[in-house]
Amino acid sequence: MPSPAEPSDPCFIRVRDLHKRIGQQHILRGVTLDIQRGSGVAIIGGSGTGKSVFLKLVMGLIPATSGSIEVDGTEITTLSERQLAPHRRKIGLLFQDGALFDSLDVEENVGFPLVVAGWKDRSKLRDKVRETLESVDLGEHLHKLPSDLSGGMRKRAALARAIITEPQCVLYDEPTSGLDPVVADSIDHLIRRTQRQHGITSIVVTHDMKSVPVIADQVVYLREGVVYFSGTPDELMSSRDPAIRQFVEGNSGETS
Ligand SMILES: Nc1ncnc2c1ncn2[C@@H]1O[C@H](COP(=O)(O)OP(=O)(O)O)[C@@H](O)[C@H]1O
Ligand SMILES: [Mg+2]
């Protein structure tokens, strides 16, 4: 996998005053954020605050209403669909449910992006798929169908599929939701290992505060459409801000 050679700009993603409206809803209301090349970033925030929308904007899957998103030195908000293709190739996306193809086995699922990218040499393809599956500890399960995998194994297969094209950045949307705590912790460590070993910029949307110190150098708390807090996990945990405390402690603010 490429580790960015002599990056001229330590900032991989630079977001300025980003707004997103969908219908009557003003979801993002001026998000400004820098994400360092090769770093692990956790994005936290209440349900419906626009975390998934933010990932889709960074990927160029939906248009911004206004503001700027610069990725690896390129402003992406003004690109045409055709110009977005090379941008999207830099970024792997791991959807919440993993979205594996039910009728393809693990090897075929993970090799799929390479087939789409035009890899023709079967033995090279097989070697690459096997190497990638080894790196997520799934080397033994090549010929299983998704329905025969545990939840944690499905996440590993989906992660292998997201990184096989050697993206510079991977976006994870709640990668540990629905997993038991032990499996969730192993996925968190795998995300961190992938980020460190390959120098992949990793942006992880999570609702799980336990994940934050494992996966993140930087935590971003989205609240009411803006970045309410950005700092290290330690800074987050030691913050005295009542809104942050309430979120971190999972306190609804209600009394019974
Ligand atoms: N395609 C869409 N059409 C209409 N509303 C949407 C769409 N996508 C997201 N939204 C709305 O935008 C808000 C933010 O959504 P989302 O980013 O999915 O939240 P979350 O922070 O939970 O990931 C929600 O109110 C959601 O209903
Ligand atoms: Mg979401």
* Mean per-residue pLDDT, 149-177: 90
Nearest CA-CA partner of 187 in 200, 170, 174: 174
Q: Is residue 44 lining ligand 1, measured as CB closer than 6 Å?
A: no
- Provide the pLDDT for residue 1: 52
- Provide the pLDDT for residue 94: 87
Tell which one of 18, 47, 53 to mutate to probe ligand 1, the residue whose CB is within 8 A of the most ligand atoms. Answer: 53
Amino acid at 251: N
In a domain, 198, yes or no: yes
In a domain, 182, yes or no: yes
In a domain, 126, yes or no: no
Q: Is pLDDT larger for residue 97 or for residue 202?
A: 202
* Mean per-residue pLDDT, 162-185: 90
The atom number, within ligand 1, closest to the CA of 50 reads 17
Q: How confident is the model at residue 215 (pLDDT cuts 50, 70, 90)?
A: very high
In a domain, 239, yes or no: yes
- Token look-up 């693990």 returns 106
In a domain, 35, yes or no: yes
Q: Is residue 51 lining ligand 1, measured as CB closer than 6 Å?
A: yes
In a domain, 132, yes or no: no
253 pLDDT more than 80:
no
256 pLDDT more than 80:
no
Beta carbons within 10 angstroms of residue 184's beta carbon? 22
- Provide the pLDDT for residue 135: 86
| 3 state SS of 201 | strand
| 3 state SS of 111 | helix
Q: What are the residues whose beta carbon lies below 5 Å from ligand 2 (ion)?
A: 52
Residue 158, C-beta contacts closer than 8 angstroms, at least 6 positions apart = 94, 95, 98, 99, 100
pLDDT in tens, 104-154: 999 999 999 899 889 999 999 999 999 999 988 888 889 999 999 988 899
d(Cα 95, Cα 52) in Å, to the nearest integer? 9
In a domain, 4, yes or no: no
Nearest residue by C-alpha to atom 4 in ligand 1: 22
Q: Is residue 218 lining ligand 1, measured as CB closer than 6 Å?
A: no
In a domain, 16, yes or no: yes
- Provide the pLDDT for residue 139: 87
Nearest residue by C-alpha to atom 16 in ligand 1: 50
Nearest residue by C-alpha to atom 18 in ligand 1: 52
Amino acid at 144: K
Residue 24 per-residue DSSP state: T
Nearest CA-CA partner of 201 in 72, 113, 107, 62: 72
d(Cα 2, Cα 56) in Å, to the nearest integer? 24
Q: How confident is the model at residue 177 (pLDDT cuts 50, 70, 90)?
A: confident
Nearest CA-CA partner of 205 in 35, 39, 62, 44: 44
- Provide the pLDDT for residue 7: 54
pLDDT in tens, 46-99: 999 999 999 999 999 999 999 999 999 999 999 999 999 999 989 988 876 667
Which token pair is 71?
A: 């990725």
d(Cα 191, Cα 186) in Å, to the nearest integer? 9
- Provide the pLDDT for residue 97: 65
- Provide the pLDDT for residue 34: 97
What is the domain-level CATH number for residue 23? 3.40.50.300
Judged on CB neighbours under 10 Å (0-12, 13-18, 19+), 197 is: exposed
- Token look-up 């971190």 returns 248
d(Cα 179, Cα 143) in Å, to the nearest integer? 23
- Provide the pLDDT for residue 179: 86
What global pTM score does this model have?
0.91
Domain with 194, as residue range(s), is 11-90+167-248
Q: Count CA within 13 A, CB hemisphere, residue 156.
A: 27
- Provide the pLDDT for residue 6: 52
d(Cα 62, Cα 7) in Å, to the nearest integer? 28
For all residues of the chain together, what is the average pLDDT? 91
How many domains, in total, are found in the chain?
Answer: 1
Q: Is residue 48 lining ligand 1, measured as CB closer than 6 Å?
A: yes
- Provide the pLDDT for residue 251: 75
